A and B are shown apart, each in its own frame.
Chain A
Amino acid sequence: MLEIRGITKLFGGLAALREVSALVEREKIFGLIGPNGAGKTTLFNVITGFYRPTQGEIIYNSKNITGLKPFEVATIGIGRTYQQNNLFYEFTVERNIFLASHMRPKSGIVEDLVGTSSAKKKREVIEHKIEEILTLLELTSFRNELAKNLPHGFQRMLGIGIALATEPELLLLDEPFSGMNAAETESMMGHIKRIHKEKSIGVLLVEHDMKAVMGLCERIIVLNFGEKIAEGSAEEIRENPIVIEAYLGVEDVVQY
Chain B
Amino acid sequence: MKSVPWVILLVGIVLFPLTGDIHWTRVLIEIFMWITVSLGFRLILTAGQINLAQIAFMGLGGYAVAILTTKLGLNYWPSLLIAVGSTAVFALGIGYISLRTKGIHFALATFAVAEIVRLIWIEWKSLFGGVGGIPNIPPPNSVLGIQFGNVISYYYFAFIMVIFSMAVMYRIERSRFGMALLIFEHTEDLAQSVGIDCFRYKNIAFVIGSSFAGLAGGFFAAFFHYVGSEDFTIHQTFYVLIYVLTGGIQSFYGTLLGVSSLIICLKMIHHIPGFNPVWEPLFLGCTLLAVMKFLPGGLISLPGRLSLERFKLDLKRGERIAGD
Contact = CB atoms under 8 A, between A and B. Distances in A.
A–B contact (CB under 8 angstroms): yes
Interface of A: 16, 36-42, 45, 48, 50, 69-71, 74-75, 79-80, 82-92, 95, 98-104, 106-107, 109, 112-115, 146, 162-163, 165-166
Given A74-B194, A165-B194, A82 B321 contact: yes
Interface string B171-184: 11011110110010
A102 B310 CA distance: 18
Interface string B293-324: 00000000000000011111000000101111
A18 B175 CA distance: 44
A82 B189 contact: yes
B291 interface: no
A135 to B, nearest CB: 20
Nearest to B310: A90
B147 to A, nearest CB: 34
A82 B186 CA distance: 14
B324 A100 contact: no
Given A91-B309, A100-B194, A115-B174, 12 more contacts: A45-B321, A71-B192, A71-B197, A85-B189, A87-B190, A98-B179, A99-B183, A102-B180, A103-B195, A103-B196, A107-B176, A163-B193
Contacts of A82: 189-190, 193, 321-322
B187 interface: yes
Contact of B195 (A40, A74, A83, A109): A74
A113 B172 contact: yes
A100 B309 CA distance: 16
17 contacts: A16-B324, A38-B324, A39-B324, A41-B321, A41-B322, A48-B193, A71-B195, A75-B195, A83-B321, A89-B187, A90-B308, A90-B311, A90-B312, A92-B309, A100-B194, A103-B195, A113-B177
B117 interface: no
B198 interface: yes
B204 interface: yes
Contacts, number: 110
Contacts of B194: 74, 99-103, 162, 165-166
B3 to A, nearest CB: 24
Interface residues of B, number: 32
B211 to A, nearest CB: 14
A124 to B, nearest CB: 13
B176 A112 contact: yes
Contact of B176 (A88, A102, A166): A102
Given A41-B322, A112-B175, A166 B309 contact: no
* Residues of B contacting A: mostly: loop
A71 B309 contact: no
Contacts of A99: 179-180, 183, 194
B130 to A, nearest CB: 41
A85 B197 CA distance: 18
A61 B53 CA distance: 45
Contacts of A86: 190
B322 to A, nearest CB: 5
Contacts of B324: 16, 36-42
B56 to A, nearest CB: 26
A36 B324 CA distance: 6
B319 A74 contact: no
A92 B311 CA distance: 11
B323 A41 contact: yes
A92 B307 CA distance: 11
A31 to B, nearest CB: 15
Given A38-B324, A85-B186, A99-B179, A109 B196 contact: no
B189 A109 contact: no
Given A91-B309, A95-B309, A70 B193 contact: yes
Given A85-B186, A90-B309, A113-B177, A166 B321 contact: no
Q: Which 4 residue pairs spanning A and B have beta carbons closest together?
A: A103-B195, A70-B192, A74-B195, A41-B324
Contacts of A92: 309
A211 B210 CA distance: 55
A50 B308 contact: no
Contacts of A88: 183, 187, 190
A70 B309 contact: no
A115 B175 CA distance: 8
Contacts of A38: 324
Contacts of B197: 69, 71
